[in-house]
Amino acid sequence: MQLLQKLVSFTICASLVILLLLPFVISSQEHLKTTGNLTSNKNIIHKISPKLLFEITLHGFLLWASMGFLMPVGVIAIRMSHREACGRRLKILFYVHSISQQMLSVLLSTAGAVMSIKNFNNSFDNHHQRIGVGLYGMVWLQALIGFLRPRRGSKGRGLWFFVHWITGTAVSLLGIVNVYTGLQAYHQKTSRRIHIWTIVFTTEVSFIIFFYLFQDKWDYIHKQGVILEPLRPTHQVISPGEKQKGSTTESC
């Protein structure tokens, strides 16, 4: 079991490192394509109406909020809840996870998908549209799995948790990848610069990764300044009356 947990942690860390390197690869490809197709992009930008440009921008914002923000927030919230035994804080974290992933994220991604089907040319000749179709189905699958949560302690709880965790992790990683591919598609469609947005989103992803990996170490770091003294036996004389009182208390 410990080997499986280490393997899963290593896989997640490797995937997060790949996500951090992805924008730099995209930027280099973008530079090569820009130098080769500068003339054609200038002709394309004049064909885009202000309405279509607004719809493209709104589509990108909705999918960023759904996949690039709410999904990671839901993952972090449920991970933080593992440190809570019970109480109000555990319920708050659970509701944050459920509302952000199973409600708001699904609604925003649905709105973005409807805008894409209604207003855009969906020829599916690029990675952004292909990943988006599969990602949209996985978002609804993840929400359905979340609503079908069995009771804690039942036989199928372990299998459900594994499927729910795998699906949620895959949606979060693919969602971040698709935000980068969406920025690339936005640049190809409008020939506008995306360097600033790429840097801003990479900074956000880096912060989320840092917080995700740091929260498990917080208790360990906090305890480093605490000196745990061994318990010393105390030789105390107990009177017969106190012994009788103690035996009465234990019987209760």
List the one residue out of 110, 116, 113 whose CA is nearest residue 189: 116
Mean pLDDT (the chain) is 76
Whether 241 has a pLDDT exceeding 60, the answer reads: no
pLDDT tens readout for residues 187-202: 988 888 899 999 999 9
Residues near 67 by beta carbon (within 8 Å), at least 6 away in sequence = 105, 109, 135, 171, 172, 174, 175, 176, 178, 179
Q: Specify whether the CB–CB gap between 59 and 201 falls below 8 A.
A: no
The HSE-up count of residue 183 (CA atoms within 13 Å, CB side) is 25
Q: Please tell me the predicted confidence (pLDDT) of residue 37.
A: 46
pTM check: above 0.75:
no
What the chain holds in terms of domains, given with CATH numbers, is: 52-218 (1.20.120.1770)
pLDDT tens readout for residues 108-156: 999 999 988 888 877 777 888 889 989 999 999 998 998 888 888 888 8
pLDDT tens readout for residues 33-87: 444 444 444 444 446 788 888 988 999 999 999 999 999 898 888 888 877 777 7
Round to whole Å and give the CA distance between 33 and 28: 9
